[in-house]
């Protein structure tokens, strides 16, 4: 659609005529006030990470008009959220809650059903309700970003408290945890580290989970389970409720940390490196979600366009090799970034064990950080691994014109043969669609996520289609070997959900029963995570 025509063509929610939409909007405008309802009738603006849109996915894979909202509403309180949900039930209006909407690479702020009304919780509900310096916990609203929490802790002078941050610090603590995002300190599993939620259910009822259900409690943020069934998990990666408050535990400052970096020479070193990592990680000698990155990522992190790095006609691997020789530590293929925590007397014995294990691999080298310039990527990893928010990872986007990215993120055991097999699958599909491959293994306690970031030109339909098809191919083939994604972009959620199909989709049947019970009118984020309300299910919405 020509942007000039767009102004005359407001997006309508599913099943609405323009006059029905106008009637519904008038009611919510009357309740919230004109200034807290915004119709999406202006040309779509992709903005950038900081000034991100809440109308659509800035990293569109289809046409950006596909997953686009009809309007955004800005609640200022829990009561407002309940009123919006009741309003949505009355009009059968699809609504899509976001906290900040910076879920870049996973769909951003875009609703799955075109014309949904986005509930932008973060704009007005952005208070840090509590930071408890004794228990090392906090209680936050959806609009609290990792940056905001970090800055508040510094402002209050709590030098003994750390937070855990993901790769990019501009997202919401609640939004990231609900999507089961990860960070890189020992508190990196955000869901595991949260304690207590307050949730508006799809019919408008309000619940508190864990100890929050006990009036007068003072342990909501210190004991996550409370009494009886534990529900928090069903509000993550789902469309079963809107989280309006969440507790999070904070890591005590460990009294020192030291980031380190090892380089490995050859592509074929991968299985050996992974085998060396496994016992160290399970034994907690490697204490954080560490990253094993291909050197191609290091080159992309320089923030230069591909066209200025790779010569015309040159193979990517040759170009990378050539550039790698000019990096401060010279040519290599795999790079391990890790961090040890605690004062030197605690760190040093661990660092010694790690050094002995890694240097058994021929050609492995420990890089002295003092030889790296202050703008080197290592220092950005060092900040993130010690709980300081950063946005350096965005520099990747310069690799392509109109750079956008999408993640392929399957889980596999920390085993050499799995690492090789997954990488071979990804390589095959990247070759087929002529895409550069950027692999990194993020090593959790007993498994690892292979994270492959496809960087594409969102201004070019062929580039978008190649990224989309490559993703679909990798998801399908990997599932054939028993590998499943831990999280995925909005447009692949049906496909990924369908791979979790043991016993003819017993798990999805359970999701559907819960969805139909909690959300009989099917208003809350239809289709998110492949969970469709009865009114949409099997009617051609699934991708």
Catalytic residue positions? 106, 486-487
Does residue 58 touch ligand ADP according to CB under 6 A?
Answer: no
CB-closest chain residue to ligand ADP: 175
The token pair at 396 is 């990747």
Cβ atoms of 102 and 49 within 8 Å: the answer is: yes
Please report whether residue 248 would count as binding ligand ADP according to CB under 6 A: no
CB 477 within 8 A of CB 429: yes
Q: Considering beta carbons, is residue 242 or 412 the nearer one to ligand ADP?
A: 242
Q: Which of 117, 243, 423, 448 binds ligand ADP (CB under 6 A)?
A: 243
Residues in binding contact with ligand ADP, number by CB under 6 A:
22
Contact 153, 387 (CB under 8 A): no
Query: Contact 498/530 with Cβ under 8 angstroms?
Result: yes
Q: Which residue has the tokens 């408890």?
A: 132
Considering the complex, state which of residue 98 and residue 440 has its C-beta at the smaller distance from ligand ADP: 98
In the complex, minimum distance from the CB of residue 172 to ligand ADP, in angstroms, rounded to a whole number: 3
Count, residues in the chain:
543
Closest-CA residue to 295 (of 315, 266, 258, 259)? 266
Residue 101 in the binding site for ligand ADP (CB under 6 A): yes
**Which range, of 71-79, 98-106, 269-277, 408-416, touches ligand ADP by CB under 6 A?**
98-106
Crossing angle for the helix pair 270-282 and 416-432, nearest 10 degrees? 130
Q: Return the number of the residue (237 or 263) whose C-beta is nearest ligand ADP.
A: 237
Which lies closer to ligand ADP via its Cβ, residue 202 or residue 473?
Answer: 202
Task: Based on the shown chain and the rule CB under 6 A, indicate whether residue 361 belongs to the binding site for ligand ADP.
Answer: no
173-202: contacts with ligand ADP (CB under 6 A) = 174-176, 178-179
Stretch binding ligand ADP (CB under 6 A), from 170-178, 253-261, 327-335, 374-382: 170-178
210: left (phi over 0), alpha (psi -120 to 50) or beta: left
**Identity of the residue, 170 or 254, whose beta carbon is nearer to ligand ADP in the bound complex:** 170
Residue ranges in 107-166 that form contacts with ligand ADP under rule CB under 6 A:
107, 109, 121, 142
Contact between 56 and 109 under an 8 Å Cβ cutoff? The reply is yes
Binding ligand ADP (rule: CB under 6 A), the pick from 75, 171, 210, 533 is 171
Nearer to ligand ADP, 183 or 473 (CB): 183
- Burial (CB count <10 Å: 0-12, 13-18, 19+), residue 538: exposed
Q: Could you write out the three-class secondary structure of 86-124?
A: HHHHHHCCCEEEECCCCCCCCCCCCCCCCCCEEEECCCC
Where do contacts with ligand ADP occur on this chain (CB under 6 A)? Answer: 97-103, 107, 109, 121, 142, 171-172, 174-176, 178-179, 242-243, 525, 528
């Amino acid at each position: 659609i020509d942007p000039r025509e767009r102004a005359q063509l407001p997006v309508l929610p599913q099943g609405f005529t323009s006059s029905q939409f106008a009637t519904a909007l008038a009611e919510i405008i009357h309740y919230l006030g004109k200034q807290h309802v915004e119709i999406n009738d202006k040309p779509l603006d992709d903005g950038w990470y900081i000034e991100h849109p809440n109308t659509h996915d800035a990293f569109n894979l289809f046409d950006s008009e596909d997953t686009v909202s009809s309007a955004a509403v800005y609640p200022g309180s829990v009561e407002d959220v309940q009123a919006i949900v009741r309003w949505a039930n009355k009009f059968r209006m699809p609504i899509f809650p976001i906290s900040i909407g910076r879920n870049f690479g996973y769909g951003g702020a875009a609703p799955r059903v075109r014309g949904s009304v986005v509930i932008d919780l973060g704009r007005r509900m952005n208070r840090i309700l509590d930071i408890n310096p004794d228990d090392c916990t906090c209680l936050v609203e959806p609009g609290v970003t990792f940056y905001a929490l970090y800055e508040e802790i510094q402002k209050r002078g709590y030098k003994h408290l750390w937070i855990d941050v993901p790769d990019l610090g501009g997202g919401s603590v609640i939004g990231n945890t609900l999507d089961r995002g990860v960070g890189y300190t020992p508190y990196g599993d955000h869901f595991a580290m949260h304690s207590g939620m307050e949730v508006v259910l799809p019919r408008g009822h309000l619940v508190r989970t864990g100890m929050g259900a006990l009036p007068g409690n003072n342990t909501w943020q210190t004991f996550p389970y409370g009494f009886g069934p534990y529900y928090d998990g069903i509000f993550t990666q789902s469309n079963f409720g809107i989280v309006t408050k969440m507790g999070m535990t904070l890591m005590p400052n460990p009294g020192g940390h030291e980031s380190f970096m090892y380089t490995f020479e050859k592509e074929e070193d991968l299985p050996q490196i992974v085998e060396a990592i496994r016992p160290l990680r399970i034994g907690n000698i490697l204490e954080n979600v560490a990253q094993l990155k291909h050197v191609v990522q290091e080159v992309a992190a320089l923030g230069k366009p591909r066209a200025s790095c790779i010569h015309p006609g040159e193979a990517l691997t040759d170009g990378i090799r050539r550039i790698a020789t000019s990096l401060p530590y010279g040519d290599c293929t795999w790079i391990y970034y890790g961090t040890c925590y605690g004062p030197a007397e605690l760190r040093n014995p661990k660092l010694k064990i790690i050094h002995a294990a890694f240097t058994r691999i021929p050609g492995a080298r420990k890089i002295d950080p003092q030889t790296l310039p202050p703008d080197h990527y290592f220092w950005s990893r060092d900040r993130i691994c010690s709980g300081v928010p950063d946005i350096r990872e965005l520099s990747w986007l310069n690799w392509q014109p109109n750079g956008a990215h999408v993640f392929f993120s399957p889980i596999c055991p920390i085993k050499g043969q799995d690492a090789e097999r997954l990488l071979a699958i990804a390589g095959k599909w990247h070759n087929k669609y002529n895409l550069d491959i950027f692999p990194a293994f993020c090593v959790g306690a007993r498994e690892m996520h292979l994270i492959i970031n496809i960087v594409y030109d969102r201004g070019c339909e062929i580039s978008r289609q190649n990224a989309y098809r490559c993703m679909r191919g990798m998801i399908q083939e990997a599932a054939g070997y028993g590998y499943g994604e831990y999280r995925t972009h909005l447009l692949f959620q049906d496909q990924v959900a369908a791979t979790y199909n043991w016993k003819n989709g017993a798990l999805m049947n359970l999701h559907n029963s819960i969805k139909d019970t909690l959300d009989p009118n099917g208003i809350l984020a239809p289709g998110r995570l492949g969970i469709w309300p009865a009114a949409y299910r099997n009617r051609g919405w699934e991708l």
